[in-house]
Structure 1
């Protein structure tokens, strides 16, 4: 398997999905070892650094890419298998930002409430223990939390010449902020433009479901991903496969519409896997699905629907490409 290593300079980051020329072309079956910067572009490094002072809002959520995938055409399915996500620094950072987050007034939920305080927390990593430490700013409380690396942003270029901010999740993927996008996951995205033009970024060292305050433990990440392509079969919305589960992600506002999108996408997937009529799929989904939140803070909210494979008959999504890529990934270590 061909392996390509790539670390972008600041000038090479993408800040949108769509409207950006590819940084390189890769063949299906290629492994990429990539470096991604954190959502703050590396500008917050200590507790005294505040977003309003240190962060340029024109330079948030930098993306590594886009990559042109040879042979990818609209209607195809881009397959990204995440082999490894390794923190690139020994610390991560989280903040509260005025009028941003799930438990404050925002520009869209306007009240006469003053903004919550702007604060910064630094989480230090213990690589031996695979943990990071939360330290309260207003007391002596501290606790070690398991390291659970994930990517907040995985997406392709939208169709119709559309250009979307790297802060936005939509049917092209983007800033979904799902903890399910972790090592061992295979992500399926519908191709909208020739070459797919996919980008990744927004590494999180861990994140709770919903990303309540608006930021995870943000950190630079070393990412190993295998790129594959399935001709045809494009999903309408992003899908994820783990060894033990199938997932679909919907992104919209209000939150119940994001939930509905994900549920409908999973009904479609059950139809593809088992030739189920939509009404039968609807009934089966109603009795088996879990619905973890991804984010309730971004430009669009993202909701996940998740089905355990052991509840279903054995199937082979996309001709078993997840299992194939899991085996291929083992040869890279």
Structure 2
């Protein structure tokens, strides 16, 4: 089944979704299905010219809008929702990155305060050439120009949190949310534990590209036209978001301090390796210690996200989630 859900880019941003949990579903998507829709950029379209600064737009309350939530009738609490990113394409020919006061990894912030003034506001207006697959940075204070390869991804993907909680779409956690990992690009499958009836799946925060860590606090933020393939793994709960690509399996952890995000991601990987191989926990711990990669997804959000990656080549005979990644690719 295929579902199209159009998004009105001119509507009042206040009518959009800015939380995980606490919102009624905008549509029903029976699984398995593909869903084609659009997402606004993290600024809800309010920064769209090279001569603007973040303070020129009323961004208060209008950050990181999500498309959704979508009710998946086959998804019940205790299941896992599989989300495969079939296509992620920038909607427009530009993207925006900024420096905002007291936000970013290399400035004073409300959670890490110092007696320093904030870094100055800045805005970089990136040109996006979809045909060439290029995003172009023009330096603000010199004549330098750089062409970067376009690498579209979604910074935010998630379901309703457990225990009836409602969390800002700026926050990542066990439900997914604003993980800001470049691993969530086209071709990746994300596994999310279902906490409520229907899962209440939402996603957004498109990035035309992003470095690991998202150190200034914003990627090349861009509206997206995206297609995802959805299915449910019944009777199996995923405690923290996992990601699968053709080459890797990955676990995530989101918390502060960052070393605890590292611990969550690696603990989840150890348990997963033990489950899928039949090795003991201690043998799996040794295996993960010698084979894992650990990219930092973000060092700027409300809490930080760390990813643990294991090459599938290290586990040549192992299939995870019953091969749903391959099935969703075929859709």
TM-score (normalizing by structure 1)? 0.96
- Cα distance in 1 for partners of 2:161, 2:3 equals 27
Q: Which residue of 2 aligns with 1:53?
A: 56
**Structure 2: tracts of 5 or more residues without a match:** none
SS at match of 2:84: strand
SS at match of 2:74: coil
Q: Cα offset for 1:269?
A: 1.2
Task: Give 1:304-319 correspondences, 5 Å limit.
Answer: 304-319=307-322
- Cα distance in 2 for partners of 1:128, 1:191 equals 38
Q: 1:161 aligns with which of 127, 141, 164?
A: 164
Q: Cα offset for 1:202?
A: 0.3
Q: Which residue of 2 aligns with 1:296?
A: 299
**Structure 1: tracts of 5 or more residues without a match:** 329-333
Q: Cα offset for 1:12?
A: 4.6
Task: Give 1:90-109 correspondences, 5 Å limit.
Answer: 90-109=93-112
- Cα distance in 1 for partners of 2:294, 2:194 equals 26
Q: Which residue of 1 aligns with 2:252?
A: 249
Contact kept in structure 1, 2:41 and 2:223, CA below 8 Å? yes
Q: Cα offset for 1:11?
A: 5.5
Q: Cα offset for 1:278?
A: 1.1
Segments of 4+ moved more than 6 angstroms: none
- Cα distance in 2 for partners of 1:53, 1:67 equals 33
SS at match of 1:82: strand
- Cα distance in 2 for partners of 1:6, 1:315 equals 39
Task: Give 1:38-77 correspondences, 5 Å limit.
Answer: 38-77=41-80
- Cα distance in 1 for partners of 2:22, 2:300 equals 25
- Cα distance in 2 for partners of 1:198, 1:302 equals 20
- Cα distance in 1 for partners of 2:113, 2:277 equals 46
Q: Which residue of 2 aligns with 1:87?
A: 90
Q: Which residue of 1 aligns with 2:152?
A: 149
* Cα deviation 1:133-164 (Å, max 9, x = unaligned): 11110000111000000000000001111000
Task: Give 1:1-333 correspondences, 5 Å limit.
Answer: 1-8=1-8, 9=11, 10=13, 12-328=15-331
* Cα deviation 1:195-249 (Å, max 9, x = unaligned): 0001000000000000000000000000100110010211110000000100011
Question: What root-mean-square deviation, in Å, do the aligned CA atoms of Structure 1 and Structure 2 show?
Answer: 1.1
